[in-house]
Amino acid sequence: MILQELHRYYGRLLADPECDVPPAHWSTEKAAWEITLAEDGRVMRVLPLTTGEGKELRRFLPMRVPEHGSRSGTGILPFFLCDNAAYLLGLDSKRGEEKRAGARALHEDVLASCDDAGAQAVRAFFERDDCLEGLDETLRAELAGGGFMVFRLSGDRQRVHEREAIRDAWAAYCDLPSDDDVVGQCAITGERTSMARLFPQVTGVPGAQSAGASLVSFNLDSFESYGKKQAYNASLSQEVAFNAGSALRYLYGDLKHRVRFGQTTVVFWTDRTATDEELMMLAMLGDEVDPRAEDTADLEHIQQTLECMKEGKPLEGYDLETRFFILGLAPNAARLAVRFFETNTFGAIARHYGEYLRDIEMDGVKPRSLRSMLRQTAPLGEADAVPSTLVNNCLHAMLTGSRFPRALPQLVIARMRADHGDNNPWDMGQRAALLKAWLVRAQRIAAKETGERVSSERSLQVDLNEENTDRGYALGRLFAVLERTQTAALGDVNATIKDRFIGAASMAPSRVYPSLLRSHQHHMAKLRKSNAGLSIKLEKEMDGIMPLLGESCFFPATLDLTEQGNFYVGYYQERQFLWRGKKSEASSSDAASTETSGE
């Protein structure tokens, strides 16, 4: 289905006059050098090609050139009019002569009947043995370092491969029947035609080989069947392979259709022209919208749409029946591994994304994309360190409304034990929001499966729920009160109880809470003297929390994963509640002092 939809998408791209997608037998490659030829084939100069400006300056220029095949093994495979210095100039210490001879044979075959001046200059270039004359050793070393080279005839505004006669000669050469062609039935179109031996490689994939990576590949005998080798096992026609490969290259090269999640790259496309819907999909998959972007009207519209999704309101101005195809790919040496493939209408995806926004919503936490939130599961928030399996399963849950994976709370809690959420001021809130999303979604789905209603006494809300009787939630609230008492009584200390005990308190409460409560009594005694108003507030919170632990205020030996998740959510929400009133606490303390002195 993936190849079929990519094949269809390429047909739409080719029909779009505003889309610069290469036609058959052509591809877009990054050229680094330009060789200027005289009419007699002499190399007049070699110029570097660049793109971008300032810090974005790069030593290459993307351009449409004759299609490149897939080089594998140690065979000789030259490319037409766009190749590296080893093939065009023979700059290879081991096989330079052999490679240049292969390139000469290819160009003579393609240009044999072409009388164009550019074709004659290229043929003369390969006939000369002095092609390196005039190139100093420094330039030769740079050329041998890599990069594709293209030709230009001296005084011509076009490059050689752009000349009409050359294009016609290349098309005629590619359409010639070959004795090596394998004829079979295409699995996509059902037509009987020439089959593809290799699937086009996609270049520029982070983590893959620089030469490119292939979506369809067979490299072991155990993957082959019925005596077929290489991509013949996939039963793809040459046309379908080219179309699907070209569409995938286009998606990888377009930032409006590509988002990176750690090691996974997500590309998406639609079944029809849908500019607004694609812009919203990019906002849903990517990071939050940058308020400094230039088009403020689009930003406001996106923000309003996201707000409508969160509130469950109808979306206006969108084609809700537009079907999206969302493909997650990860590099695996010279191959692309398919991590997931989801397809659904824009309306269904928007509804599920609204559920995600409501599940993730937390007091004091700004709405963030899933890509940004998942960085909380990686050491130091490194995006590339987020496990691929977690990314795939979480994206599936966000797009389909299913459960978030159990690995999500495990990794979040592991990060809490490792760094206590102290790396950045927003870490604690985002981690609590992730845990809340996992908990409320699991609770909602379980209730739907059993037909039961979710009790308010066990539910998590956007802010503090004082009626929540879950013991993990109550213990988290209690820990926040103990921490607030300590910091208010002692001021800045080297290590708070959060720094020393939050991991143990969330996993084995009976080990730490008794000693924490004994220290709490001393802290309260000191706080009553320095800030009577705050001490009263904290005592009231303690009086409301302790009964939730049972009549005997029992501290369990361990908490399971769900209770640990509730612990951190309760801790964060109680902490937000206590610190929110910090400004009013000073006035309460002043009022209490006035009353005391008045008496």
Q: Where are the domains of the chain?
A: 2-176, 178-253, 264-326+342-454, 469-599
pLDDT digits (tens, 9 = 90+) for 410-462: 999 999 999 988 888 899 999 999 999 999 999 999 988 888 877 666 789 99
- Reply yes or no on whether the pLDDT at 197 is more than 70: yes
Question: Mean pLDDT throughout 519-544?
Answer: 93
Select, from the ranges 94-98, 149-153, 219-223, 542-546, the one with the highest average predicted confidence (pLDDT).
149-153
The helix/strand/coil state of 148 is strand
- CA count, 13 A, side-chain hemisphere, 117: 10
Q: What is the DSSP string of 330-345?
A: EEETTEEEEEEEEEEE
More confident of the two residues 220 and 284 = 284
- Reply yes or no on whether the pLDDT at 31 is more than 50: yes
Residue 588: the pLDDT is 42
pLDDT digits (tens, 9 = 90+) for 470-518: 999 999 999 999 999 999 999 888 889 999 999 999 999 999 999 999 9
What is the average pLDDT value for the chain, to the nearest integer? 88
Between CA 32 and CA 30 the distance in angstroms is: 7
Between CA 38 and CA 155 the distance in angstroms is: 9
Question: Mean pLDDT throughout 529-536?
Answer: 92
pLDDT digits (tens, 9 = 90+) for 217-247: 887 777 777 767 778 888 899 899 999 999 9
Residue 70: the pLDDT is 72
What secondary structure letter does DSSP report for 271?
S
Least confidently predicted of 68-82, 185-199, 424-438: 68-82
Between CA 422 and CA 478 the distance in angstroms is: 20
Q: How many degrees, rounded to 5, is the angle at CA 38 between CA 37 and CA 43?
A: 50
